[in-house]
Amino acid sequence: MSETPTIEAFASVETWAEAISARLAETLGAAVRDHGQALFAGPGGSTPAPVYRRLAATDLDWSKIAVTLVDERYVPETSPESNARLIRDVLLQDKAATARFIPLYTPEVTVDRAAIVAAKALADAGGRFDAVLLGMGEDGHICSMFPESPTLKTLLTPTLKPTVLGVPHGRDGMAPTLERLSINLPYLMSAGRVILGLKGAAKRRVFEEQAQGDPKIQPIAALIAAGVPLEVLWTEEG
């Protein structure tokens, strides 16, 4: 059983975002130097916005960096629900405007077809993330690995190859409300660096509880059990 990572605490959102952005930039810069390219995956939502703004202003050879999402709603970028929209509006700006974006959503007939297209695009881009930023929901979900979801066990199976899967609506009012696309656990296992950014006392409590949970059905426990190179950065400032 792998050790639960230490939670690193930061006094403000400012210092928290600065630390995360600096670590991601360091890893992406090293990948470009060593391999001539880098692949970054991050979440949508409002939590990572201060991290993305700092990262976008960082001097990196962005033309050699590809950016994708850890999960996405099955909606076009014109939708306010789109994670790609946030990435484009906040991260792919300033110096990072020259980075290449690899969307998970494409307008295929079904979410599962879109997942196949996304999986191929990521495989073509190298099939391994150099750096990943994760967020976590109040229910303990990361990416689109939701409690009680029919696809959860497949997403958390450590022996599959890295891929993207379609995630159906939750049953009986459970999350998610929209169909989604999500990377699976093996993508996180093969990543060079994985940072989980948490804000607020409630999220810290959820993380500590989930870390002790069942890796077959609890994503945080699964990350730890699978030996994902996880760093947990937390700020009490919600």
Domains contained in the chain, CATH given: 7-235 (3.40.50.1360)
What's the pLDDT band for 202 if we cut at 50, 70, 90? very high
Over residues 31-50, the pLDDT tens digits come to 999 999 999 999 998 889 99
Confidence check: pLDDT of 143 > 80: yes
Confidence at residue 1, expressed as pLDDT on a 0 to 100 scale? 55
| pLDDT above 80 (res 209) | yes
Tens digits of residue pLDDT in 94-135? 999 999 999 999 999 999 999 999 999 999 999 999 999 999
Contact indicator for 57, 148 with CB cutoff of 8 Å:
no
Position 210 confidence tier, pLDDT thresholds 50, 70, 90: very high
- 148-193 pLDDT, tens digit each: 899 999 999 999 999 999 999 888 888 888 999 999 999 999 999 9
Model pLDDT, residue 45: 82
